[in-house]
A and B are shown apart, each in its own frame.
Chain A
Amino acid sequence: MNHEIRALGELGTAFERVAGQRRSRWPAAVGRWRSTAVVAVIRVGAPVTGANGPHSPAVGRGDVRPATVRLLAVRAADPGGGPPWGMRFATTTRGLGCLTVGRVVDGELGVLGQDGAFRDDGEFHPLPTGSNATSPACGPLDRRGRLILNADVGEVPASALDANGLSAGGCLGPNVHEPGGTFCPVRDERNLYYGMLGPQATSLTYTAADGAQRTLVPQGPDGAYLIVQRAVESPGSIDAGMSVSLEPFAPITSVTYRNGLRCELTNPIASEARACRLPPGFAPASTPRYTHAQLASPVRATIRAAGDGRWTLTVSFVARAAITSALANYAMTLEVSHGAYGFSRDADVRSGTRVTYHDFAALPLAPGVYHGAITYYTSTTPGQAPFLANRGGVLVGRFTIRVP
């Protein structure tokens, strides 16, 4: 192509902006009856018990701190009726704040026995505190211990039971690759947009399902909001999953703050873009600062043939700095012709211990010499990608492997 296509460049710039908001997937009162304002009466069934892997205070998100759990006042009606949607906040042992969304009955968060969940028993099933049967949206707490975070989740069953709760049955969102699984009918899927904008936010404008611009007032000192819309995607489409960011997602079009600042999200005003880069009230957490000299460690790397042109890589190094929260980590990167592979393990590490990375998929590597590195990074912004942090990360050491 001889001529540059300006529109393609502009489109690329738009994707760069969006890509900066990393898609982040983090990855019994049986027999009671309760009344709600919306549903005359709903039977309360067994609590949700499905869990996706063991909890650990030192791994992944960490464990929920029970004293911090609170159901927020914000509610949103479901387009299909029934109990409203609500949101629960908690902090974890690894320095994160998390929002869990579900249906609310009598001041309790849970899921509904519909869409195949709980054999369509029509009951309300409370979601115990700390349960990971549904995916929370988590992000680093800021310096004041406050969570400012925005999330969107595509195509969640109206039951509110997502992929993590498979043991309770239910149809699957299209992001779930489960052999033999049944996709939810699109009428039973919801798109959720929710978050905490902080105490400075005074209003939020979004595009409703009918195309109209609506404004809502974020609630409480958290500036909490929750928008529930019918999903319109076809079952099985890929437009699903959770995204987490410091910046709200479409269909939210603008947020206004107490100081009069109005942050336009779809067509940012250049003069306000700088002020809107960090939302008013957000103070990124402090993390330890290290130099390369403080963290330097020889890196050992070996490879082993795994067949079919793939190679198992084992890399180890000594962690000079401890990892004590989800706000810091070590990452391995291996440069290849089309970018780089990266690996990290979300777990606490004691200072002075040897860390070994080997338990990841065998990599397709052509014969040649490859260079890699171990980097220490910190991440204090919701949804921030490790690679973004790596640009400012601290090099631990480099390694080279030769694939015969």
Chain B
Amino acid sequence: MDARGSLWLVADAEAFIELYRREAKSMLVFFARRTVDAEVALELTAETFAQAWRGWGRLRPGGVEETRGWLFTIARRQLGRYLRRGRVERRALRRLGIQTPVMDDGDIAAVHEAAELGSLRDALRLELESLAGGQREALRLRVVDELPYATVAARLGISEATARARVSRGLRALARALDPLEATKGTGR
């Protein structure tokens, strides 16, 4: 705010909403194919857009691809944190006062279809043998058998948090296997 004035890419809220409308589904698929979990993918999508909004005012004017590249840089960072820690950050969402909506069965089925998680699971099943026992079982129960985390934890005799951590770390270990699959899918666009 000075005598020289300020340039913005409108870019303020309206363009951000446009960005959300344009990229949210792609991002959801991006996360779903890397976490094989529609609900986690939605949480990561929500936190990514919340962080993007927090940084929106500092984004320099650029083209669609530059903006998209910036957004997916945040997304990849969120994914990396999730795979390391086994939980989704919600700090930016909390600061904005946004609660991630709960997905119903129809939503989950739609994400599964869009991300082609069925075929991804088949491919992952073959890769599971390369994992350590704990991670392999957690991943098999959660990703292949699609059991809730509570059930995974009960079956393995561990806490739900540990189950989540094993799954996320297992996914991280299989990232190389996941990436080539994703490469043929782009980011779902």
Contacts and interface: CB of A to CB of B under 8 A. Distances in A.
Bind each other: yes
Interface of A: 1-8, 10-12, 14-16, 18-20, 22-27, 53, 56, 59-61, 152, 154, 175, 177, 191, 232-233, 238-241, 249-251, 265-267, 333, 337-347, 357, 359-361, 363-364, 385-388
A20 B13 contact: yes
A125 B128 CA distance: 61
The CB with the most chain A CB atoms within 10 A, among B42, B45, B55, is that of B55
B12 A12 contact: no
Contacts, number: 199
Nearest to A334: B10
11 contacts: A1-B188, A8-B107, A11-B100, A18-B97, A238-B58, A251-B95, A339-B10, A357-B5, A364-B61, A385-B13, A386-B12
The prevalent SS among residues of B at the interface is helix
A7 B39 CA distance: 10
B25 interface: yes
Contacts of B20: 12, 15
Nearest to A138: B1
Given A6-B106, A152-B95, A339 B11 contact: yes
A103 to B, nearest CB: 23
A377 B10 CA distance: 15
Given A25-B57, A342-B8, A3 B110 contact: yes
Contacts of B91: 232-233, 239
B101 interface: yes
A10 B101 contact: yes
Nearest to A248: B97
**Minimum-distance CB pairs A-B, first 10:** A345-B5, A19-B13, A250-B97, A3-B110, A339-B15, A1-B114, A360-B7, A10-B101, A7-B101, A340-B10
Nearest to B51: A238
Given A238-B51, A361-B61, A1 B113 contact: yes
Interface stretch (B62-70, B164-172, B176-184): B62-70
A359 B63 contact: no
- Which of the listed residues A233, A239, A363, A364 has the most CB atoms from chain B within 10 Å of its own CB? A239
A240 B42 contact: no
B28 A8 contact: yes
